[in-house]
A and B are shown apart, each in its own frame.
Chain A
Amino acid sequence: MIRFDGVTKQFPDGTTAVDDLSLTAPTGKITVLVGPSGCGKTTSLRMVNRMIEPTRGGISLDGQDTGRMDAAELRRGIGYVIQHAGLFPHRTVLDNIGTVPRLLGWDKKKVKDRSRELLEVVGLDPKLGNRYPTQLSGGQQQRVGVARALAADPPVMLMDEPFSAVDPIVRDQLQDEFLRLQDELGKTIVFVTHDIDEAIKLGDQVAVLRVGGTLAQVAEPQYLLAHPADDFVADFVGKDRGYRALQFEHAPRLTLHSEPSVVVGETPSSRASWLLVVDDDRTPLGWVEPARVGDRPVASEDLHRGGTVARASGSLRGALDAALSSPARRGVLVDNDGVLVGTVRAHEVLTAIEETERPERDEDDPVHGGAMDVSGERG
């Protein structure tokens, strides 16, 4: 658990970057600091490993005041990932990953084994181990950055906009893998971003900061979307927050309809206006209009690919999108293996939405109301 206790940072030129910040990042969870530029989110992050010293207030790590620890020792126990990865250009990928274990004095063989292992953990080809950073793509560099931070298995990780310098598709991929990794590792993470979508996707808890370094609101993402504390937060979380919040609502209550389907390569027997096409494993491929196909087998060129497919165990957002995007107006749902389960209509999803309860509002404390409960006290 990382605890900010009335932390203020004033720079010598008189600007206040962080103003009386009190916040708790619970153990094993991802706390995202988000806000516009100049809100002090990076400064706050860098005060945790004392890359910046607070002017007032203190930060404690599992109850220990970081200000009393040796700064270098403290940092060796905290994984640190930064925007452009900050890899050492003169060292190979493996040597980069082994940096902290070497600082901690592990023996060479152990360092090497651990570095190889991490290459795999972050999903990189072992062949890349002997390359140099300049030979890697931005996304690969960022993976190496994460591997380096994880090398000595620190319980705490600080991540400063780690995915913002890569293109959107790679970013999405890195985020998904990061969440998968976190599921396995359960680190205490403080994550800085300026991107509210990223904050909501990754955060177990999201802290919105405003310019001048004050905390506007800290809450779990669904609470934040449902009950922004003020106009600033409401503006910041965006106009489509209602739709976005649906991604936290699971959709088990939906009643599914069985959907007639045809296996690709066979001739449709149904004369419905739209017919779902599946492959041999009953994985949905797309829709066809039997009237257009006529009496010949369905080929992959006939497929209408506009519709999305959602998992039945997934969120209401996925189910609604599947229904809205389907040319047949019937949203396709699959199980976790991608096998067709059935279809659902948009109005049925909407009905389910109307029946779900929104996170309840904490009237007493609009700023900390939806924050994660940390051993009975509010941070």
Chain B
Amino acid sequence: MIPSILEWFRDPMTWSGPGGVPTRLLEHLWYTVVTVVIAAAIAVPLGLWVGHTGRARWLVSVANSLRAVPTLGLLFAVSLVVGPYIPGDLAFTAPSIAVLVLLAIPPILAGTYAGIDAVDPSARDAAKGVGMRGRQVLWQVELPNALPLLLSGVKSAMLQVVATATIAAYLGLGGLGRYLIDGLAVSDIGEAAGGALLVGLLAIVLEGVLSLLQRRVVSPGLTGRTARGSQDGDDAPQAEAPADAPVDVRG
């Protein structure tokens, strides 16, 4: 198998033209990013709202149960039902993106909600108590503190979309999934496995990019990445003895 993968990678045809790796890779990346951006645009505000107001928590459970829906089946169902009503190429891409979005929403929603829910109640109380308005509490305290969990949700959604976008190639979405489908169709193990390898690589790279982003936007106060400074001067300086208290005689 390995020689055939290497052979596929060495073949100049693999790298050029509309079916070449750069094009497919870009397609795959594009669909993934578009999907995650749309999903985040829906799930983040919704998660913030549910977390901040504590209302409609059932939304999170419903979204989570959506994860159980078989993706491939949904993909076909949606494109069969909706496809005919959409003109041109969109007839295939729109349903695919929609299904992928549906798949990406639950982890982002759950992460956002969990992030807000996990904010230290005393920090939230203090935020209100010092005179922040509802929005200020959300933007200045809840959201920054929810970021680690929120971004974990985005990461897991991203990985899921990268992986699932391969099957969307069945519907002409293009992307790296094409190699899997085409390879399997003509029993070209090299092409199929090479495509799978590329999907894996893309997932790893995206994961790395998001982790870098996370380091940049999450406060060091939350990640524990700060240098654990010496705890010297702990509660120093010593208070002076109050005027009316007896003082121990010391040697």
**Interface contact A76-B131, CB-CB below 8 Å:** yes
Instruction: Give A100-128 as 1s and 0s: 1 = Cβ < 8 Å from B's Cβ atoms.
Output: 10010000000000000000000101001
**Interface contact B251-A305, CB-CB below 8 Å:** yes
**How many residue pairs, one in A and one in B, have C-beta atoms under 8 Å apart?**
158
**Interface contact A125-B131, CB-CB below 8 Å:** no
Instruction: Give A318-362 as 1s and 0s: 1 = Cβ < 8 Å from B's Cβ atoms.
Output: 100110010000001010101000000000000000000000000
Q: Which B residues between 193 and 251 are near A, CB-CB below 8 angstroms?
A: 219-222, 224, 226, 228-229, 231, 233-251
Q: Flag whether A313 is at the interface (Cβ < 8 A).
A: yes
**Interface contact B130-A75, CB-CB below 8 Å:** yes
Q: Flag whether B96 is at the interface (Cβ < 8 A).
A: no
Q: Which of A72, A139, A336 contacts B133 (CB 8 A)?
A: A72
**Interface contact B122-A85, CB-CB below 8 Å:** yes
Instruction: Give A128-171 as 1s and 0s: 1 = Cβ < 8 Å from B's Cβ atoms.
Output: 10011111010110000100110000000010000000000010
Q: Which residues of A contact B241 (CB under 8 A)?
A: 176
Q: Flag whether A87 is at the interface (Cβ < 8 A).
A: yes
| Complexed CA–CA distance, A287 and B248 (Å) | 12
Chain B interface residues (CB < 8 Å from chain A): 120, 122-123, 125-133, 136, 140-141, 144-145, 219-222, 224, 226, 228-229, 231, 233-251
Q: Which residues of B contact A308 (CB under 8 A)?
A: 246-249
Given the contacts A72-B133, A318-B244, A88 and B231 also touching, CB distance less than 8 Å: no
Secondary structure call for the A interface: mixed
Q: Which residues of B contact A247 (CB under 8 A)?
A: 244
Secondary structure call for the B interface: loop
**Interface contact A80-B219, CB-CB below 8 Å:** no
Closest to A332 in B: B249
| Complexed CA–CA distance, A322 and B129 (Å) | 44
CB of B238 to closest CB in A, whole Å: 7
Q: Flag whether A295 is at the interface (Cβ < 8 A).
A: no
Q: A80-B130, A134-B226 are in contact. List 8 more A-B contacts (CB 8 A).
A: A86-B129, A90-B144, A90-B222, A158-B129, A286-B249, A307-B249, A314-B245, A318-B245
Closest to B140 in A: A88
CB of A79 to closest CB in B, whole Å: 8
Q: Which residues of B contact A134 (CB under 8 A)?
A: 221, 224, 226
